[in-house]
Amino acid sequence: MEIPAHYRGREQALIKHQLLETYLYKLFMIVGQHQPTISYVDCFAGPWQVASDDMSDTSIGRSLSTMKNCLESLRDMGHNVRFRALFIEKDVTAYHRLRGYLDSLDTPVETESFHGEFYNVRHKILDWCGPAGFTFFFVDPLGWKGIVEVPTLEPFLQRPNSEFLINFMFEFILRAHDIRKHEKDMIAIFGQVPQTDDMTPDQKESYLVNLYRANLKRVQPLRGGKPRSVTVPIQRPGKNRTLYHLVYLTRHPLGIVKFMEASEPLDFVQKAVRIQAKHDKKIETTGQCELFGALENVKIEQGNVPISVVKEYWLRQLTSQPQLFGIDKLADMLEETGWFESNFQEAFHELQREGKAKNLDDAEKSKRRKKFVHFDANRNCGERLAKVIR
Ligand SMILES: C[S@@+](CC[C@H](N)C(=O)[O-])C[C@H]1O[C@@H](n2cnc3c(N)ncnc32)[C@H](O)[C@@H]1O
């Protein structure tokens, strides 16, 4: 895969847009089968750093084309779903460009835009959403102040039937989190002043992100399902360092499963971006163009979490008494570890082959190729798994 020209130099936006598009498609196709109206709110719309004429490299263009595709596919399946989209932008030039684009569009999606500061128009946004219809909020700012703090987002977090994708500007927050003058802001973000002395960079990252996720969930209402969240780290192009985290928040276990499914190929793209950047640098310094494309090399680099670690995790979950492993349990496992379903499938298969675990509902007795546990079987209640004690 070559990185599209429009995204060169801002590959992190490509990864963000791919995730947004892939996940929105899966989400709307599920939600659209039982909800008459779907609303989408892009709270920091842009356009920003746009290189295409048709907005195909912006969240505006990509979300609208996804909604149109879903609306048409759902209609073919006999579901007439009303799609509504709201875009907020504070910069006057960007706002006029946004408005002009929306006015020029011929789309079955109902569109609206507000010009203003997100903080000031929060209640207007909520009025537009209405009290109960399904709404997806995309929060993609340039900074954090007056935006990602939990009290700022609280009126949205308390809304029922809502999902969120929040760009948590990790690089900025990491720099600010232990500076005394930001203490109040940190309490608003994390619910406490984070203590990260003596932590390694990796420990700091997971501690801070987990603290933020927990604080977001804390203010969600008790009714409406258990609050759940996962996060996808997006790296600075060409560097092995996190630029931001895309924090996803839902009340549905299936949302977690589908979101992680949408994220998995991005891991591959991030590695491709890293290799492409190294490759570009080499051309710059040596003047030599290498013959391979970015992705050919990725296959060699693949493999995140060691399978032995996932197997150990499985053995801690399994008991000698068979237990059902369904979507709910899978969502718990994905949330807790941040791994992908494929990691769990592969590790379970290996435990089965080693005679350390069994699937009592695997009628094909491991003729399966990729999915060794059908978490979605039996109406998402799953299959009976057990540890083999010898
Ligand atoms: C990261 S860009 C958005 C990119 C867009 N979501 C995309 O993926 O194509 C953030 C946008 O939010 C706007 N913005 C920044 N602060 C804002 C605020 N407080 N309220 C509303 N818009 C804001 C900026 O002008 C910029 O266009």
Last residue of a domain, one of 276, 292, 327: 276
Ligand 1 centroid to residue 94 C-alpha, Å? 9
Ligand 1 centroid to residue 142 C-alpha, Å? 6
pLDDT score at 290: 41
Low-confidence ranges of the chain (pLDDT < 70): 1-2, 268, 274-303, 366
Residue 79: which residues within 8 A CB-CB, separation 6 or more? 32, 33
Q: Which is the closest atom of ligand 1 to the Cα of 48?
A: 27
pLDDT digits (tens, 9 = 90+) for 96-124: 999 999 999 999 999 999 999 999 999 99
Ligand 1 centroid to residue 84 C-alpha, Å? 20
pLDDT score at 302: 32
Number of domains in the chain: 2
Here the tokens at position 122 are 């929060």
Best residue among 14, 18, 19, 48 to mutate for probing ligand 1, ranked by most atoms within 8 Å of CB: 48
Task: Answer whether 12 contacts ligand 1 (Cβ < 6 A).
Answer: no
Does residue 288 sit within a domain?
Answer: no
The reply to whether 63 and 172 lie within a common domain is yes
The reply to whether 269 and 349 lie within a common domain is no
pLDDT score at 298: 33
Ligand 1 centroid to residue 90 C-alpha, Å? 7
Buried b (16+ CB within 10 A) or exposed e, 173-204: bbeebeeeebeebbbbbbbeebebeeeeeeeb
The reply to whether 331 and 236 lie within a common domain is no
The reply to whether 238 and 329 lie within a common domain is no
Q: Write the burial class of residue 209 (CB in 10 Å: 0-12 exposed, 13-18 middle, 19+ buried).
A: buried
The strand pair at 383-387 and 323-325 is best described as antiparallel
Best residue among 88, 90, 165 to mutate for probing ligand 1, ranked by most atoms within 8 Å of CB: 90
Nearest CA to ligand 1 atom 13: 44
The reply to whether 20 and 115 lie within a common domain is yes
Last residue of a domain, one of 254, 276, 298: 276
Task: Answer whether 66 contacts ligand 1 (Cβ < 6 A).
Answer: no
Assign residue 94 the CATH number of its domain: 3.40.50
The reply to whether 128 and 186 lie within a common domain is yes
Q: Which is the closest atom of ligand 1 to the Cα of 140?
A: 6
Helix or strand or coil: residue 195? coil
pLDDT digits (tens, 9 = 90+) for 287-341: 544 433 333 333 323 347 899 999 999 999 999 999 999 999 999 999 999 999 9
The reply to whether 204 and 314 lie within a common domain is no
Does residue 291 sit within a domain?
Answer: no
Does residue 186 sit within a domain?
Answer: yes
The reply to whether 118 and 257 lie within a common domain is yes
Does residue 292 sit within a domain?
Answer: no
Does residue 172 sit within a domain?
Answer: yes
Task: Answer whether 21 contacts ligand 1 (Cβ < 6 A).
Answer: no
The reply to whether 118 and 231 lie within a common domain is yes
Q: CA-CA distance, 352 to 55, in Å (whole number)?
A: 49
Last residue of a domain, one of 276, 298, 331: 276
The reply to whether 86 and 18 lie within a common domain is yes
Nearest CA to ligand 1 atom 8: 59
Range of the domain at 364: 307-387
Task: Answer whether 44 contacts ligand 1 (Cβ < 6 A).
Answer: yes
Q: CA-CA distance, 114 to 124, in Å (whole number)?
A: 9
Q: Write the burial class of residue 222 (CB in 10 Å: 0-12 exposed, 13-18 middle, 19+ buried).
A: exposed
pLDDT score at 293: 38
Ligand 1 centroid to residue 320 C-alpha, Å? 52
Does residue 286 sit within a domain?
Answer: no
The reply to whether 334 and 186 lie within a common domain is no
Does residue 282 sit within a domain?
Answer: no
Ligand 1 centroid to residue 87 C-alpha, Å? 10
The reply to whether 270 and 312 lie within a common domain is no
Q: Which is the closest atom of ligand 1 to the Cα of 146?
A: 19
Task: Answer whether 118 contacts ligand 1 (Cβ < 6 A).
Answer: yes
Q: CA-CA distance, 271 to 266, in Å (whole number)?
A: 8
Best residue among 7, 16, 43, 44 to mutate for probing ligand 1, ranked by most atoms within 8 Å of CB: 44
Ligand 1 centroid to residue 47 C-alpha, Å? 8
Does residue 188 sit within a domain?
Answer: yes
Nearest CA to ligand 1 atom 9: 58
| 181-185 long-range contacts, CB within 8 A, separation 24+ | 185/144, 185/145, 185/149
From the list 29, 135, 19, 23, the residue with the least C-alpha distance to 73 is: 29
Q: Which is the closest atom of ligand 1 to the Cα of 44?
A: 12
Ligand 1 centroid to residue 48 C-alpha, Å? 7
pLDDT score at 28: 97
